[in-house]
Chain A
Amino acid sequence: IAGITQAPTSQILAAGRRMTLRCTQDMRHNAMYWYRQDLGLGLRLIHYSNTAGTTGKGEVPDGYSVSRANTDDFPLTLASAVPSQTSVYFCASSDITSGGNEQFFGPGTRLTVL
């Protein structure tokens, strides 16, 4: 693994189903983030985690939950998917302890909720 990986690459999901998007990084970054990207709206922050064991809400957290059991993994769960959650989801990480804010992004997961 080099950088950030996300799985699945894409998924079609029936409304009401539960879905977990996976994100793993091997850079030992302390902070991780989940964004959704919709046409015309850019990237919007869903949840973030500044360190293992802590999480925080971003701009659009409703309908999503996250956990950060360890440094490397930051899964995003949709408890009961709705069509408005159709989007491209990006996971990112950064090393905030070094004073930098550069975020490294994964390749994204394209989710369609029908």
Chain B
Amino acid sequence: GESVGLHLPTLSVQEGDNSIINCAYSNSASDYFIWYKQESGKGPQFIIDIRSNMDKRQGQRVTVLLNKTVKHLSLQIAATQPGDSAVYFCADINQAGTALIFGKGTTLSVSS
């Protein structure tokens, strides 16, 4: 069935380091993927998305890489800052195309 998951539930990094958060998906027909950031007590916030006809997309300090061969995507955060501490979710579109399917999330902790 459909599932989107993240490899690690938690990730701890030092301020200034680069962070890599990984995600695996099972639906080979998925053509759209999105990363969300959720800070404590708030709703998820869009970070970046990527379509299946791309293997890389860059935003401000963030890069998403998509490997369709192994059904894996990653979110890279450059020069991680304390404000990046949050839970990060990957998501893809369900088979009906009606809504997003979310993974369980990775908690990123950034220490100074």
> Nearest CB to that of A33 among chain B residues?
B99
Please report whether the interface of chain A is mostly helix, strand, loop or mixed according to DSSP.
strand
Given contacts A90-B44, A108-B42, contact A101 B98 (CB under 8 A): no
CB distance from B78 to the nearest CB of A (A): 22
Are B46 and A104 within 8 A (Cβ)?
yes
Tell me whether A43 and B42 are in contact (CB under 8 A).
Answer: no
**Contact between chains at B104 and A48 (CB < 8 Å):** no
B99 touches A102 (CB 8 A): no
State whether A101 touches B104 (Cβ < 8 A): no
Chain A count of residues within 8 A CB distance of the other chain: 23
Which single residue of chain A is at the shortest CB-CB distance from B44?
A: A105
Query: A41-B104, A48-B98 are contacts. A102–B44 as well, Cβ < 8 Å?
Result: no
Q: List, in ascending order, chain B residues with CB within 8 A of A4's CB.
A: 43
A106 to B45, CA, bound (A): 9
Residues of B within 8 A of A44 (CB): 102
CA distance A42 to B99 in the complex (A): 15
CA distance A107 to B38 in the complex (A): 10
Q: Are B100 and A42 in contact (CB under 8 A)?
A: no
A72 to chain B, nearest CB (A): 18
Binding site for B on A (CB under 8 A): 4, 33, 35, 40-45, 48, 50, 56, 58, 90, 92, 101-108
The contact sample of 24 A-B pairs, CB cut-off 8 A, is A4-B43, A42-B89, A42-B103, A42-B104, A42-B105, A43-B102, A44-B102, A45-B101, A48-B98, A48-B99, A50-B98, A56-B98, A90-B43, A92-B43, A101-B32, A101-B34, A101-B49, A103-B100, A105-B43, A105-B44, A106-B43, A107-B42, A107-B43, A108-B41
Q: Given A50-B98, A108-B43, list of 7 further CB < 8 A pairs?
A: A40-B104, A43-B102, A45-B100, A101-B49, A103-B46, A105-B44, A108-B41
